[in-house]
Amino acid sequence: MAKRNIEILVGLFVVLALAALLFVALKAANLTTFGNGATYTLAARFDNIGGLKPRAPVRSAGVVVGRVTRITLDPKTYQGIVTMEVRQGYQFPKDSSAKILTAGLLGDQYIGLEPGGEEANLVAGDTITQTQSAVVLENLISQFLFGKAAEAGAGDASGKPTSDAGATK
């Protein structure tokens, strides 16, 4: 009888472990929201989308209001076109702006919507014109390094620094 109880407990533990793995897998794939409420489609153009991916959240004030559905490249302007679906319950003014932000220092990227002040709202099919591209960490590091290299090379013709702050007398 005790052996049977242990087998039942082990079986329950395995089922709970599988359920936890399924939850983690869905969370990692941004598939935890199963609600298919009414949505409307918006688009935004960015010079650089960084690591933004389809199914990335669209947030306003930290609240998930939609999802990125598609990312394409405009062959004429070479800009990334991000198509997103926003839940019908959330209406944004026409002069709202969209930014590609990062959750944490090295986290996933998402779209941040900041509402504007205009009275007319965005409607299905509109394009958000005020956008800010993703900040790419590699670009920031290279700008910093090139800036330091330019400072180091700003000496006189002999290559020595022009200040005598480090000279000994």
Neighbouring-strand partners of residue 42: 84
> Per residue in 28-77, pLDDT tens?
665 655 556 799 999 999 999 988 999 999 999 999 999 999 999 999 99
Looking at the structure, do residues 112 and 136 belong to the same domain, yes or no? yes
Quick check: is 62 in a domain? yes
> Per residue in 69-104, pLDDT tens?
999 999 999 999 999 999 999 999 999 999 999 887
44 close to 98: Cβ distance less than 8 angstroms: yes
Q: Which domain holds residue 23?
A: 1-32
Looking at the structure, do residues 47 and 127 belong to the same domain, yes or no? yes
DSSP 159: S
Rounded Cα gap, residues 108 and 39, in angstroms: 23
Looking at the structure, do residues 69 and 115 belong to the same domain, yes or no? yes
> Per residue in 94-131, pLDDT tens?
999 999 998 877 778 899 999 999 999 999 999 999 99
Looking at the structure, do residues 1 and 25 belong to the same domain, yes or no? yes
* The three-state (H, E, C) secondary structure of 74-111, written as one string: CCCCCCEEEEEEEECCCCCECCCEEEEEECCCCCCEEE
Rounded Cα gap, residues 37 and 30, in angstroms: 17
Looking at the structure, do residues 68 and 102 belong to the same domain, yes or no? yes
CA angle centred on 48, ends 50 and 45, rounded to 5° = 120
Tokens 């472990």: give the residue.
Answer: 17
Q: How many separate domains does the chain show?
A: 2
Looking at the structure, do residues 62 and 82 belong to the same domain, yes or no? yes
128 close to 98: Cβ distance less than 8 angstroms: yes
What is the rounded average pLDDT of the residues 136-155? Answer: 77
Rounded Cα gap, residues 109 and 98, in angstroms: 13
For residue 169, what pLDDT is reported?
47
